[in-house]
Amino acid sequence: MVDVKPSDGQPGGHAGPLLQVTNLKKYFPVRSGLFSNVSAWVKAVDDVTFDIRPGETFGLVGESGCGKTTVGRTVLRLQEPTGGDVSFEGQDLFAMDAKTLRATRRRMQIVFQDPYSSLNPRMTVGSIVGEPLKVHHLAKGRDLTDRVCQLLNRVGLRPDHYPRYPHEFSGGQRQRIGIARALALNPKLIVCDEAVSALDVSIQAQIINLLKDLQAEYRLSYLFITHDLNVVQYLADRIAVMYLGKLAEVAPAATLFSDAKHPYTQALLSANPLPDPTVKHERILLPGDVPTPLNPPTGCRFHTRCPHVMEHCKTIDPPLIQIGKPEAGHKVWCHLYSG
């Protein structure tokens, strides 16, 4: 990585957000019957809009099953979308042919949650980290080995780990290998899907610090997906809260933690233990379970559990509402704030 300088200039002189996601939808078909006909749709992601700026960490939080992973994967077009647009560096990702897509993927990478299933058990660490360079014909022979060793070094592993197999490493080390692989192509955006959730707290801190260092060094943007509010609080510049396939609230990290507007965000924050246990805060207990995305509630998807539910919440989708000035970037989807 030493010979690759972080470049600030965008190809084609593109200015503005690095990634723009507009009305993204992803429905999974539920098939049944002899000829596998579609009998229903799982609305995993339904109309999600956000953007990520260069060098920014954008946190995406929400309970299990709300569609965070699906957002992350659809944004990289690892899954084909059902609807909506994603533009990366100003280019429409969903309109690209296979060749352009392959080239574009060099600048957007992913780090996975499970450090055990994200590395091929039958490949050496060296070939795992070197694979991106190899498939794009960026290096071969000695040059490839050298660059892989530099990458290993950069993420805190030793070059003599090169010929080892993944099962010989601990979870934290394996996550480093995954980061080295994502870093190999010198990307602009890395989607971290619960990248530290499977790790012990002390190891979590090390990996988070590594991610921060790398961000400063290469001016990376992260889409940081997690269910752990403490992690995003520490890491994210802006945070989006997701519920059942839709966004509930988007705000700068500090604003979200001090002045959450959406009832769901408030409930999430109240369930999160504060760093200072002497500070008393009231826990908002939500009634019921998360409904299934197979048959989501009409109107506001949160209305079945919302403590402030009103009659029209049950039928009318809440509109996007700006809290304060538009520059503040605090958006909420809730009828409480309309009018």
Residues in touch with ligand ATP (CB under 6 A): 28, 42, 44, 62, 64-70, 227, 293
Name the segment binding other proteins (CB under 8 A); options: 43-51, 73-81, 85-93, 282-290.
73-81
| Among candidate residues 19, 125, 74, 3, the one with its CA nearest the CA of residue 245 | 74
Please report whether residue 320 would count as binding ligand SF4 according to CB under 6 A.
Answer: no
CB hemisphere CA count around 208 (13 angstroms): 23
Q: Which of 119, 225, 235, 244 binds other proteins (CB under 8 A)?
A: 119
**Residue 64 touches which of ligand SF4, other proteins, ligand ATP, none (Cβ within 5-8 Å per kind):** ligand ATP
| 241 within 8 A of 249, measured Cβ to Cβ | yes
**CB nearer other proteins, residue 117 or residue 292:** 117
List the interface residues with ligand SF4, window 205-264 (CB under 6 A).
262-263
* Residue 270, C-beta contacts closer than 8 angstroms, at least 6 positions apart: 281, 282, 283, 284
At 39 the three-state DSSP class reads strand
What is 144-176 written as a DSSP string? Answer: HHHHHHHHHHHTT--GGGTT--GGGS-HHHHHH
Please report whether residue 110 would count as binding other proteins according to CB under 8 A.
Answer: yes
Q: Which of 20, 69, 118, 255 binds Mg ion (CB under 5 A)?
A: 69
Q: Which of 9, 13, 163, 326 binds other proteins (CB under 8 A)?
A: 163
Angstrom distances, CA of residue 184 to CA of 2, 125, 139, 140, 190? 11, 13, 11, 13, 12
**CB nearer ligand SF4, residue 52 or residue 256:** 256
**CB nearer other proteins, residue 17 or residue 132:** 132
**CB nearer Mg ion, residue 63 or residue 85:** 63
Name the segment binding Mg ion (CB under 5 A); options: 19-27, 62-70, 179-187, 287-295.
62-70
Please report whether residue 30 would count as binding other proteins according to CB under 8 A.
Answer: no
| Among candidate residues 302, 219, 211, the one with its CA nearest the CA of residue 262 | 302
**CB nearer ligand SF4, residue 195 or residue 334:** 334
> Looking up tokens 């060099």, which residue turns up?
106
Smallest distance, ligand ATP to C-beta of residue 141, A: 39
Count, in order, helices (H) and strands (E) of the chain. Answer: 9, 12
Smallest distance, other proteins to C-beta of residue 161, A: 8
**CB nearer other proteins, residue 155 or residue 269:** 155
> Looking up tokens 């980290």, which residue turns up?
129
Binding mask 30-69 for ligand SF4 (x = CB under 6 A): ----------------------------------------
Please report whether residue 68 would count as binding other proteins according to CB under 8 A.
Answer: no
CA angle 85, 88, 89 (to 5 degrees): 135
Q: Which of 181, 302, 323, 330 binds ligand SF4 (CB under 6 A)?
A: 302
CB atoms within 10 A of CB 275: 8
